[in-house]
Amino acid sequence: MLSRAALSRQAGLRRSSAIAQRFASTKSLRDTLKEAIPIKQEQLKKLKAEHGNTVVGDVKVDNIIGGMRGLKAMLWEASVLDPIEGIRFHGLSIPDCQKVLPAAPGGKEILPESMLWLLLTGQVPTAEQTRELSRELAEKGQLPKFVEDLVDSFPKTLHPMTQLGMGVAALNHDSSFQAAYEKGMKKPEYWTHTLEDCINLIAQLPALAARIYRNVYNPGTPLPGINKDLDLVGNYSNMLGYGANESLTEYLRLYIALHGDHEGGNASAHTAHLVNSTLSDPYLSYSAALFALAGPLHGLANQEVLRWQIAMQKELGTDITHEKIKEYLWKTLKSGQVVPGYGHGVLRNPDPRFIALQEFCDSRPELKSSPIIELVNKTFQVAPDVLKEHGKTKNPYPNVDATSGCVLYHYGLTEFKYYTVIFGVSRALGALTQLVWARALGLPLERPKSMSMDALEAFIKKP
């Protein structure tokens, strides 16, 4: 009999084959959604009618007092995270996506626009559809003057993530959803106005994030305008001042595409979903998500990895052996700290995103010879066995943060505090597309039931 993992892989490959063939020809993004939504609405209706009382899992006291970790308790159409396989986007694994999703002309890495199309529609776009979406995003990417003035008024000492969240919230001044709701739109129209807000916000995030970078780290430097012939990341990299560095631009394309979605239970995606369930517009919903992402337990992990790697590099010197790394790992663990970049709340194998980024590093001579990337590789060769011996880590393998910030550092983007802003630009792909589906499917206000410790103890004592 096949194992659960083998069966899951077989099912995934069948889904991948079907999806890879289901190109949307010349249809626009909106036409593709208009066709997909009634099918999903009917699927949801049938699930509720025929299986509404089916038990999915048991709630334990540990779940209630442990942050609801692991509870299957929300609907999220874009991706499913398997502890063994890792993430799949509408059935497609990361290697699948790298094979079928369009890249930039002359490039090899996934264009975030093609990932956006997949997350939103469940279909693989053609290169032409991806290019049209790139052009639409570029045309809508300019910030309103009042938001530029607002961001320029922030003190450069204000954390970049605080600035990003405030800038996104201010953009709700032009919310299509809010304006239509005030006029009394009907529920079937909710998703169309949510979609317009989400597309506009994704389009404006690079200009907002680049303006924050300029103000904090390069004040007074002119900001390039948006080039309508460039893709989303091409413009972002150019506005950051790295447009001439094609290797960094390609890395940012891969980074942003792979970080775009990681199921709905992570803090930022869940926050966007929760706030939007109150019918707050996407700008307010995503600004809340960004403040969740700013927390040290969520979006700051890659910079913590980099700090730790640099400290190790400084202490061990130039002749870094596996044995020296092993000693440094034990020193970290015995001091009561965790090893940054290792372990994951769900995964129990090496993170496929880590593997994809490592493959990117292996394909670039300058990264293969980079001391910081070499240290990442050597740590990967030693850390899992040390963590297994230590015995307190459920997943002794690297997650995506083990390498993501180190590549940015190598290419000269060395401002640690800014790394989470790039993550924020990325996570919008998944968090915002699922707001469209939440409104299309008419998902209700999210309202879990809470219990006090006394109530729990009384419940436990019931005969």
State the catalytic residues.
Answer: 298, 344, 401
CB 97 within 8 Å of CB 18: no
**What is the rounded distance in angstroms from the CA atom of residue 363 to the CA atom of residue 371?**
16
Element spanning 431, H or E: helix 419-440
**What is the rounded distance in angstroms from the CA atom of residue 296 to the CA atom of residue 303?**
10
Q: Which residues, other chains included, contact 341 with Cβ-Cβ below 8 Å and sequence gap of 6+?
A: 301, 302, 304, 305, 308, 398, 399, 401, 402, 403
**What is the rounded distance in angstroms from the CA atom of residue 276 to the CA atom of residue 438?**
8
**What is the rounded distance in angstroms from the CA atom of residue 322 to the CA atom of residue 5?**
32
Helices then strands, each counted (H, E), the chain: 22, 2
Q: Which residues, other chains included, contact 299 with Cβ-Cβ below 8 Å and sequence gap of 6+?
A: 161, 268, 293, 420, 423, 424
87 bridge partner residues = 81
